[in-house]
Amino acid sequence: MDLDKTLAFIEKYARGYIGYLLAFFGEPSKEPTADPVADDPLNTILIFSLLSAFLGSNFDYFATQGKFPPGDFLIARVSVEFAYWVAMSVLLLGALRLLRVRCTAMSLLLIVLSVAPVAYALGGYIGYLMRFISRAWASEAESPYWAYATIVGVQLVAFGSYMPLYVGRIAGIGRTRTAVISVFAFAVYLCVQLYYMVSWLHPGTSK
């Protein structure tokens, strides 16, 4: 691959990723069959979600540790986050089946990957900024706590605000079942956040 093709490739996915981030803040499509993964042989949304996991992990680690993560940690963290999003989609699929809502596993995975990775990257980046901003009123030792609280807060707000919008596009789900699934998804998300928080505040207690 020559330089021109490499630059074109980077530009293509950079533009696409920016569009992926901006689409998060817009109104999701009401067409449940509009599956980017199914329609795109490159599985673009999967690539973008992994990129969000990569960016979020870097920013998250710097916000709380004051340095960027080593390569082995980064690979492990990206893998864990992606596996967590897949597991969440499986849990939500089970809940939908109990509520007798028809939805394909791929469509639900796309919903989760349209919300959770962006919330993760957004929280990590704003927490990274808070690491520096908080020095205006906090000490060096206190700034990681401000950064971590910001990460958790932003991620919870972003996930809790946008998950109902994306769940609501499932055909025939209705408002009541949208609310039930959204609350269930937020509860799972909150429990995982609390687990991470305990692990960070008290290393070793979660082992």
Q: What is the pLDDT of residues 12-64, one digit of tens each?
A: 666 777 777 777 676 555 544 344 434 453 467 888 888 999 999 999 999 99
Nearest to 45 by CA among 120, 107, 125: 107
The verdict on residue 157 lying in a domain is yes
Q: Is the pLDDT of residue 156 over 90?
A: yes
181 part of a folded domain: yes
Number of compact structural domains in the chain = 1
Contact 77, 57 (CB under 8 A): yes
Is 206 part of any domain? Answer: no
pLDDT at 130 over 60: yes
Residue 77 lies in a domain: yes
Residue 24 resides in a domain: yes
Q: pTM for this one?
A: 0.84
Does 64 reside within a domain?
yes
User: Could you identify the residue written with the tokens 């908080």?
Assistant: 134
* 207, part of any domain: no
Q: Which domain holds residue 163?
A: 3-201
Asked if residue 102 is part of any domain, the answer here is: yes
Helix locations, 34-142, DSSP H: 36-39, 44-65, 71-98, 105-133
Task: Give the residue-averaged pLDDT of 192-206.
Answer: 78
